[in-house]
A and B are shown apart, each in its own frame.
Chain A
Amino acid sequence: MNNKNNLQQNSIFTRWVSGIIENQKAFSGSCIILFFALVAIFVPFFINSPTDFLGTPLSPPSFEYIFGTNGQGQDVFAQTICGARQTLFVGFSAGILVVIIGALIGGIAGFYGGRIDDILSLLINVFLVMPGLPLMVILASWLPPTPGTLLGVLVLTGWAWNARIIRSQMMTFRNRDFVSAAIISGESNIRIIVVEIMPRMLSLLASAFIGASIYAIGAQVGLEFLGLGDISTVTWGTNLYWASNDLALLTESWWTFVPTGLSIAIVSFALTLINFGIDEVSNPRLISERIWRNKVPKELINHGITPVTSQNE
């Protein structure tokens, strides 16, 4: 274990960040995400364009086309990589927007309470209860199929979940003494929310962002698969749309939809790993229990009975 206390700033924030970096799950998760982001941004300049009609349609993976070609002879490898660009961009920006709106509405409702809280939490609950996809299908088919529309639709149906969590967390902080102390010393409410309370909700906001991004990526791919996105652009969703359109399964051309499906799964799984990591960091008791379980001999571990490690007669 490297020597942690050489960190100059021993504040909660730096300890939280170092905790994340050290945490095995969070670290591996973020490496995968970083890898996908870098590939999505830089590699497209070096490979052939995803929309050119190159090889013979539905040719299996070969040296020339690593992931083979799709129904129209386009390079599936190029499509998988270029597809990542818009999907990840829309996914993560939706994640950010959802957290911001959630924090705003949830925060205000939680902090001010009273009538404001009643109205806002009613709004939150109405959006929470509304089923997401039907609303998205209707909106997506009404608005022009640009990434902006997708982003708007995802945020509109996604913000409520986080707003609820942030509101309840804010209410616990609201009655804490350090908040009353700040009020008594004449701080403005907005400043208290932003400077005093929000930083305390760091791990909650981080996992909310990650949860929202997972939701956004999944929902976006779902919408595009239904053909409600702009099917002439190249994204993971449209790749799957074209694959199913060209009856990928029946033509046994698994290579047209497996790479995209797997990359979506890997990205979402990596994000979930990060969330696991964050949970562990913000709840250190689990780590020490894991060490305790390895340290104590197996036969001594049984529920509700503290093990006695050394028996001196």
Chain B
Amino acid sequence: MNKSILYISRRFGFYLIAAFAALTLNFIIPRLMPGDPASIIFARFKGKLKPEAIDAMRESFGLTNDPIITQYASYLKGILQGDLGISIAYFPEPVSEIIGGGLIWTIFLAGSSMVIAFLIGTTLGVIIAWNRTGKLDTILPPALAFFGAFPYFWLAMVVLYIFGFSMNWFPIGRAFGNEVNPGLNTPYLLSVLYHAFLPALTLVFVSLGGWMLSMRNTMISTLGSDYITFANAKGIPSRLIMLRYAARNAILPNLTGFGMALGFMLSGALLTEMIFSYPGQGFLLLQAVQSQDYPLMQGIFMTITLAVLGANWLVDIAILFFDPRTRR
């Protein structure tokens, strides 16, 4: 069995177990919540709904109270068939449809801003580590650390107000302009970029510092190792040493960090979405939680977790190309 296939399958095995753990947790949490959705729906209509009507409604939700085990079994079977049940708040929409739309936007926003932050952050990290204790190395880390210290949503609010509302440079919300119709046409794609710019900017700005610092630290420790001195002695030009010898080795720990950080980045994205009323999972989750919409809540939490697991697995495969030690 060639070593790299072995590595990929072992990582896949782990993510399978993690996904199973997430599913079980996802099943248990809503079940423990006080109150039940049917009475909440009734209350929402402030008395216009008679009590007898509620029981009829309970059946239509499938909120039977047969033993937990059978509920768990049907829950798992449903997931395998991709049927996540029907949302209560958006009845009778199936959960998978509501989530489908939202998930793409969240992944797009969180994913793109994270990749950008990672690229800029690591390049900056390489540069300031290369001339460490120089001028740049003394200003940049504290400055970016200061920006990183702000809470996501606070910065998002300020940025929205300054650049969106008062200076009118950027739109103040949503994922694309109203006058554009979705499809693979350039005005739509341009409008999507135009609308995603501010939210992505805040996300990138806040997480940039973290990437830069971690890359700087790994870079500094790598520059101390023998093969750098040996390369230097070999007369290899310093720019080549910086990239081919130092950076390629220093980036490996950051790559594993990249997978892990996706979870945090997603949380940040959820908050930013609410400020920019970006149609991602953020607002949907909060609404689902407040209206006790079990199926929708389970669906959102699970899709986010599976997305994160999937992304982590992809990062592991990417590491395969970067680090020959995993390959063979």
- State yes or no: do A and B touch (Cβ within 8 Å): yes
In the complex, B8 has a CB within 8 A of chain A: no
Please pick, from A133, A161, A289, the residue contacting B266 in the complex, using a CB distance under 8 A: A133
In the complex, A257 has a CB within 8 A of chain B: yes
Q: A138-B297, A293-B134 are contacts. A279–B217 as well, Cβ < 8 Å? A: yes
Q: Nearest Cβ in chain B — how far from A239, in angstroms?
A: 11
Most buried by B among A131, A219, A264, A285: A131
Q: A249-B165, A286-B133, A293-B134 are contacts. A133–B149 as well, Cβ < 8 Å? A: no
Bound-complex Cα distance A198 to B30 (A) = 39
- The reply to whether A222 and B312 contact each other, CB–CB distance below 8 Å, is no
Please pick, from B33, B264, B289, the residue contacting A137 in the complex, using a CB distance under 8 A: B289
Q: Nearest Cβ in chain A — how far from B236, in angstroms?
A: 9
- Name the B residues within 8 Å of A290 (CB-CB): 133
Residue in B closest to A226 when the chains form the complex, CB atoms? B286
Q: Nearest Cβ in chain A — how far from B25, in angstroms?
A: 8
- The reply to whether B161 and A225 contact each other, CB–CB distance below 8 Å, is no
Please pick, from B157, B264, B274, B285, the residue contacting A132 in the complex, using a CB distance under 8 A: B264
In the complex, A261 has a CB within 8 A of chain B: yes
Most buried by B among A226, A250, A268, A279: A226
- The reply to whether B130 and A303 contact each other, CB–CB distance below 8 Å, is yes
- Name the A residues within 8 Å of B90 (CB-CB): none
Residue in A closest to B308 when the chains form the complex, CB atoms? A131
How many residue pairs bridge A and B at CB < 8 Å? 144
Q: A135-B301, A138-B29 are contacts. A273–B142 as well, Cβ < 8 Å? A: yes
Q: Nearest Cβ in chain A — how far from B85, in angstroms?
A: 17
Residues 95 to 144 of chain A near chain B (Cβ within 8 Å): 122, 125-126, 128-139, 141-142
Residue in A closest to B130 when the chains form the complex, CB atoms? A303
Q: Nearest Cβ in chain A — how far from B241, in angstroms?
A: 7
In the complex, B154 has a CB within 8 A of chain A: yes
Bound-complex Cα distance A303 to B145 (A) = 27
Please pick, from B150, B157, B160, B238, the residue contacting A264 in the complex, using a CB distance under 8 A: B150
Most buried by A among B25, B165, B264: B264
Q: A129-B308, A133-B270, A290-B133 are contacts. A268–B264 as well, Cβ < 8 Å? A: no
In the complex, A186 has a CB within 8 A of chain B: no
Q: Show 9 residue pairs from A and B whose CB-CB distance is below 8 angstroms, ordered by the A residue.
A: A129-B18, A129-B312, A130-B308, A225-B151, A257-B157, A265-B149, A268-B150, A273-B142, A290-B133
Q: Which 10 pairs between the two chains have the least Cβ-Cβ distance? A: A133-B267, A268-B149, A303-B238, A304-B232, A269-B149, A290-B133, A261-B154, A131-B263, A249-B161, A265-B149
